[in-house]
Structures are given as C-alpha cells and as structure tokens.
Amino acid sequence: MQVRQQQINLEVGESEAEGIYSNMAMIVHSPQEFVIDFARVTPGARRTKVYARIIMTPAHAKMLHKALEDNIKKFESSHGQIKLAGADEKNIGFQSSPAREGTPNA
C-alpha cells in the first residue's frame, strides 16, 4: 500500500511570523489531549506568564515528538551535538508535568 503525501500551503500572518520566544514549556495531559504551555523566564524570577498554549490529541502529540526528534537529528548532524544546561538549571526549562486526571484547565 502506498501512502500519498498531500501538499498543504501554509499562510503565516504578520504577527505569527514574528514568533514567540520561549525558554520554558509545561506539558500536561489527560486521556483525550496534551496541553503545552510556552513561557519565558529569567533567572531569579518568581513569576512568568504563558505566552502560547497548544492543545492537541495524543496522536498529534506523538507525531510532533517524532518530527522534533527527526529534526534534532538532522540539526546535530549538520551543526554538532546540542548541549543541555547543567544540573544547576534543572528547575528551569522544558520539562514534563505529572499526568493528571480529567481535562486540563484552559
């Protein structure tokens, strides 16, 4: 069986093209969805706000994971291994939150 690729043309609006910088993401999930909140934190800050929230199905979250994994491998083969921050910064950055029951709050 051959799978046909569908071409999709993406339009990027002016504000979306600027992008949103994030150095922290919190991920929670329920049986129905994954919620990824993107934020920015500065060292010593006690508060920040969520600048973007992405909600997706578990299947789409897994496809995103595979796409990120593939792109990281390609990046590292061209630019060298990506080094992760040291243990002193383990509480700041991209991390998973424990699973919780029910639908995440919006």
Per-residue pLDDT at 105 exceeds 50: no
| pTM, rounded to two decimals | 0.71
**Domain ranges across the chain:** 17-80
pLDDT band at 38 (very low <50, low <70, confident <90, very high): very high
CB 26 within 8 A of CB 1: no
Per-residue pLDDT at 95 exceeds 70: no
- Closest listed residue to residue 51, CA positions, set 29, 36, 65, 67: 36
Burial class (CB in 10 A: 0-12, 13-18, 19+), 55: middle
pLDDT band at 98 (very low <50, low <70, confident <90, very high): low
- Alpha-carbon distance of 106 to 79, in angstroms, equals 38
Q: What is the pLDDT of residue 4?
A: 77
State pLDDT tens for residues 52-68. 999 999 999 999 999 99
